[in-house]
Amino acid sequence: MTDSLLPVVLMLMVAVATATAILVLTHIVGRVRRSRTDLSPYECGMAPFESARHRFSVKFYLVAMLFILFDVEAAFLYPWALTLRNGGKAAFVFGEMGVFMGVLVLGYIYVWRRGALEWD
């Protein structure tokens, strides 16, 4: 058993030694150049003009979540189409995807009526 673990332990030791050497060399060789720009928070290239405690609209995040939701839908459609094309349990697969698409359509109608897709 110890013979089988020896290569793993050696590889782990080499990995830790390499990471440690890289970190130590970076601190020894690297120069620290701090400027006013480096110390300021990054806001898409613009200087921040309000406090971080300022309230803001969450519409961007709602749209981002909807994008992820429909992106996942597209990721599920491709394997579904391949399975349906190859004829493997076609009725079951078609029914399952129908239920999946129905839930997504209901969700889309819900967020549309709630106004999550409108930018003011």
Element (H, E) at 87: none
Q: Is residue 97 part of a domain?
A: yes
Q: Is residue 66 part of a domain?
A: yes
Domain count, the chain: 1
Q: Is residue 55 part of a domain?
A: yes
Place of tokens 């697969």: 93
In tens digits, what is the pLDDT along the chain, a chain of 120 residues? 567 888 899 999 999 999 999 999 998 888 777 777 677 666 565 666 666 676 666 777 777 788 887 788 778 787 777 777 766 677 777 788 888 889 888 888 888 888 777 766
pLDDT at 120: 64
Backbone angles phi, psi at 43, to 5 degrees: -130, 65
Q: Is residue 71 part of a domain?
A: yes
Q: Is residue 15 part of a domain?
A: yes
Residue range(s) defining the domain that contains residue 64: 2-114
Residue 40's CATH number: 1.20.58
Distance of CA 101 to the CA centre of its chain: 23
- Do the beta carbons of residue 93 and residue 84 sit within 8 Å? yes
Q: Is residue 79 part of a domain?
A: yes
Please list, in sequence order, all residues whose beta carbon lies within 8 angstroms of the beta carbon of residue 94, skipping any fewer than 6 positions away.
Answer: 84
User: Rounded to an integer, what distance in angstroms lies between the CA atom of residue 3 and that of residue 102?
Assistant: 56
pLDDT at 46: 60
Q: Is residue 120 part of a domain?
A: no
pLDDT at 24: 94
Q: Is residue 21 part of a domain?
A: yes
**What torsion do the CA atoms of 82, 87, 92, 98 make, to the nearest 10 degrees?**
40
